[in-house]
Structure 1
């Protein structure tokens, strides 16, 4: 780990449930107002949607900003420094996911961007499951693709996957690493083996997996992995696609422009006669790259890599505590896809009998200072199947910075809701549940006030 990152993380570490130290998250303990006029520490249980920055990640970005300059082809000192920082970040991200020596790391905006980039490189049909985030369901719609309905168990789902691949030639199998609805983890090494036996490759949507579990694409036989910095405590607009070079080296460039070419010849009439494209990763990174975002992502990877075992143990203890609390709350129904999943990260979705999901989320925020996510989480087919209810569900998600107190506050608030209902009145405005005559200051930073919504309640990748 670079010294700057190690020092910053050590200086702001917080204790876990096991007594170990984890890097601090910006905003931990942030006082938030309630509708009754009091304030409480923020319980952020919406990390699966987007996580705040680690303190050490923000420090790393701030250290870079005085040197900010355009990278590559620049002889100036700042440009040279930023070029080195960008390429070092590329190597760090590759190491974080166990990339092979000949794999390529392409910086993207996020997981959605990475999967859409890969979609332009796949030389054949794509198969995915119906439990996927929309990023994995929809990225392939410009080409040949099909969707396999997940069976009642993981084992049965793998049998169906094997049969589907045997029946139809397939170039790529696209699967989630961990469900963004239920947190359940698939046996990726086994799916990779099934895909390879059928002559297909596998891409893993690791947006929810990478912040919670180690990913080793070489050991697991994964061909491509896509991830988002904003899920990895680095919300500075960068993600990555990591994997095999050959498809990416011959694919049409994701964007046409500066940085993606080696040479352009212009004909006499002023038209571009011939273009020699650069190989990956630069082939797919046209334009000025997001150097602070790449550096932030690498800093988060380094910080997480140093504490992963302790972080997993911390999350597991909290996740078990939350699961038991939800199971013991009358009228609360936790959601699961499979009960034989080999692992589960700290993502828990549920419905509360007689209470719309949006109302539950508004109540938790306004009366208890607890942030959760409500709706269908950009996984409409799965949530519709699990709930059978157009209102969607509520999702609580855990991670670095989550405490036992946060979990206990949520469970207690749900017991109170089921027993007594909300203390405040709520209404639907522009498709969203909100407190009636909300007295809280929703623009404490003076940025212009809350924007009116139209009922969108998903969570981007």
Structure 2
């Protein structure tokens, strides 16, 4: 293990908070939760898909279920009041985390970033877009953005335009200036590419959008977990992210929106909790953010989401970012030692905490399987960016992604696994 001083965070202390990192992998997996002893230690490098969850966050969920499990905003009894307060305060805590000074009124909880994207696309896009309008995306968009706006455009007659990605993995900002014009009503852009690791200049894109009267939606699925985010400094009209990528539970995410925009938007999911008054003829909606949270919400997950935010803030998001950047650069430098590896995206000192690559002569899925036998968990496939992979001329790629509990030694394990693949496919 590297000396603690070589990392921006106390990796040993952090790893102790994640029991799953102590397990071995391999052997019989037919019974979930039961693991053989004669297996190998886990090296988990698939954090861009889902990070692990520390004991503190799990404890928050257990405390809810064991202590005050009850529905929110519906009961007068004591436990319902406790649950309601905790759930509402979770919104405030998440809003604070991303710099939303409007508090809970500007943050609606969703299942994930994808649902947040769909909420805006259907609640705003179907009402506001029509023939002659344009939505501007990038060629590196996740399917959550690309497919959603593509389908909304088909329903409304709007046009979808794509900002080019250059050979260096960065956006062509001159092309962005050409595409974002008076017809543009929405610019939807990924903050950090989950395939290339590119950190996009979202503030500049926000300025371009606002100059023509358009909104900007920032997909923060890879940025909110890994670096300080201030939605007001970015001047994002909408910002979305997921709890399961930032030490939180699955099934919970957040949609930030500027209050005046959210107040004008109509909900697209209807039912309990989001209504104020219902007659046989019509209905009126609850205040923000509840009008966008129909039905019984993910109460335990929302409370645990706030606990995850607390956990990350205790570490310090500046330290989280520094640790990610250190590992990304180290992995990039190690992989560039070999002539048979193609890396996608910007240089190692100018990317988020992931590296996507291909090993010559070995399909990404085969490589993933071989690495799995070495205990190394990575992602292989198109990473929900099929059009981008088409542009790259790659059917799939291998992605290693890092988080606060990863080490340089684990990157070395990845590199050692590549030697095994070379021998097998020699």
TM-score normalised according to structure 2 size = 0.88
Paired position in structure 2 for 1:409? 413
SS in 1 for 2:109: strand
Are 2:17 and 1:18 equivalent residues in the alignment? no
- Given that 1:105 and 1:240 are in contact with CA atoms closer than 8 Å, whether structure 2 keeps it comes out as yes
1:402-444 CA-partner distances (Å, limit 9, x unpaired): 11221110011113322x1269xxxxxxxxxxxxxxxxxxxxx
- Per-residue deviation at 1:19? 6.2
In structure 1, how many angstroms separate the alpha carbons of the residues matched to 2:7 and 2:404? Answer: 13
Give the one of 210, 221, 224 matched to 1:207. Answer: 221
In structure 2, how many angstroms separate the alpha carbons of the residues matched to 1:174 and 1:207? Answer: 13
In structure 2, how many angstroms separate the alpha carbons of the residues matched to 1:263 and 1:156? Answer: 47
In structure 1, how many angstroms separate the alpha carbons of the residues matched to 2:108 and 2:265? Answer: 13
When residues 383 and 359 of structure 1 are mapped into structure 2, their CA distance, relative to the original with a 3 A threshold, is: same
- Given that 1:154 and 1:186 are in contact with CA atoms closer than 8 Å, whether structure 2 keeps it comes out as no
In structure 2, how many angstroms separate the alpha carbons of the residues matched to 1:159 and 1:128? Answer: 14
In structure 2, how many angstroms separate the alpha carbons of the residues matched to 1:286 and 1:297? Answer: 19
When residues 28 and 260 of structure 1 are mapped into structure 2, their CA distance, relative to the original with a 3 A threshold, is: same
- Per-residue deviation at 1:18? 2.3
- Structure 1 or 2: larger helix share? 2
Paired position in structure 2 for 1:45? 45
Paired position in structure 2 for 1:344? 351
- Per-residue deviation at 1:357? 0.8
Give the one of 148, 151, 155 matched to 2:162. Answer: 148
- Per-residue deviation at 1:286? 0.8
In structure 1, how many angstroms separate the alpha carbons of the residues matched to 2:268 and 2:4? Answer: 43
- Given that 1:16 and 1:314 are in contact with CA atoms closer than 8 Å, whether structure 2 keeps it comes out as no
Give the one of 270, 281, 289 matched to 1:256. Answer: 270
1:180-221 CA-partner distances (Å, limit 9, x unpaired): 002110112111111111211111100111111111011121
SS in 1 for 2:20: coil
Paired position in structure 1 for 2:394? 389
Which deviates more from structure 2 when the two are superposed, residues 112-121 or residues 306-315? 306-315
Paired position in structure 1 for 2:96? 95
In structure 1, how many angstroms separate the alpha carbons of the residues matched to 2:419 and 2:228? Answer: 35
1:65-116 CA-partner distances (Å, limit 9, x unpaired): 1211000031111111110111100001111111132761110000000000
Are 2:131 and 1:117 equivalent residues in the alignment? no
- Given that 2:138 and 2:165 are in contact with CA atoms closer than 8 Å, whether structure 1 keeps it comes out as no
Which deviates more from structure 2 when the two are superposed, residues 309-318 or residues 292-301? 309-318
1:275-330 CA-partner distances (Å, limit 9, x unpaired): 11223311111100111111111111121122222222222221111111111124
- Given that 1:17 and 1:317 are in contact with CA atoms closer than 8 Å, whether structure 2 keeps it comes out as no
- Given that 2:225 and 2:246 are in contact with CA atoms closer than 8 Å, whether structure 1 keeps it comes out as yes
In structure 1, how many angstroms separate the alpha carbons of the residues matched to 2:272 and 2:239? Answer: 26
Paired position in structure 2 for 1:437? none
Give the one of 182, 189, 193 matched to 1:179. Answer: 193
Paired position in structure 1 for 2:385? 379
Are 2:371 and 1:364 equivalent residues in the alignment? yes
When residues 283 and 265 of structure 1 are mapped into structure 2, their CA distance, relative to the original with a 3 A threshold, is: same
Q: How many residues align?
A: 397
In structure 2, how many angstroms separate the alpha carbons of the residues matched to 1:155 and 1:384? Answer: 16
When residues 381 and 142 of structure 1 are mapped into structure 2, their CA distance, relative to the original with a 3 A threshold, is: same
- Given that 1:254 and 1:285 are in contact with CA atoms closer than 8 Å, whether structure 2 keeps it comes out as no
1:321-358 CA-partner distances (Å, limit 9, x unpaired): 1111111124111111x56x994111111011111110
SS in 1 for 2:277: strand
Paired position in structure 2 for 1:269? none
- Given that 2:325 and 2:349 are in contact with CA atoms closer than 8 Å, whether structure 1 keeps it comes out as no
In structure 1, how many angstroms separate the alpha carbons of the residues matched to 2:262 and 2:19? Answer: 36
- Given that 2:24 and 2:37 are in contact with CA atoms closer than 8 Å, whether structure 1 keeps it comes out as no
Are 2:54 and 1:54 equivalent residues in the alignment? yes
Give the one of 305, 325, 341 matched to 2:313. Answer: 305
Give the one of 317, 330, 352 matched to 2:326. Answer: 317
Structure 1 unaligned segments of length 5 or more: list them: 1-13, 267-272, 424-461
- 1:63-74 residue pairs with structure 2 within 5 A? 63-66=63-66, 67-74=68-75
- Per-residue deviation at 1:136? 0.8
- Per-residue deviation at 1:40? 1.5
In structure 2, how many angstroms separate the alpha carbons of the residues matched to 1:133 and 1:20? Answer: 30
CA RMSD of aligned residues (A): 2.3
TM-score normalised according to structure 1 size = 0.81
When residues 77 and 17 of structure 1 are mapped into structure 2, their CA distance, relative to the original with a 3 A threshold, is: farther
- Per-residue deviation at 1:234? 0.9
In structure 2, how many angstroms separate the alpha carbons of the residues matched to 1:348 and 1:40? Answer: 24
- Per-residue deviation at 1:254? 2.4
In structure 1, how many angstroms separate the alpha carbons of the residues matched to 2:362 and 2:5? Answer: 33
Are 2:240 and 1:226 equivalent residues in the alignment? yes
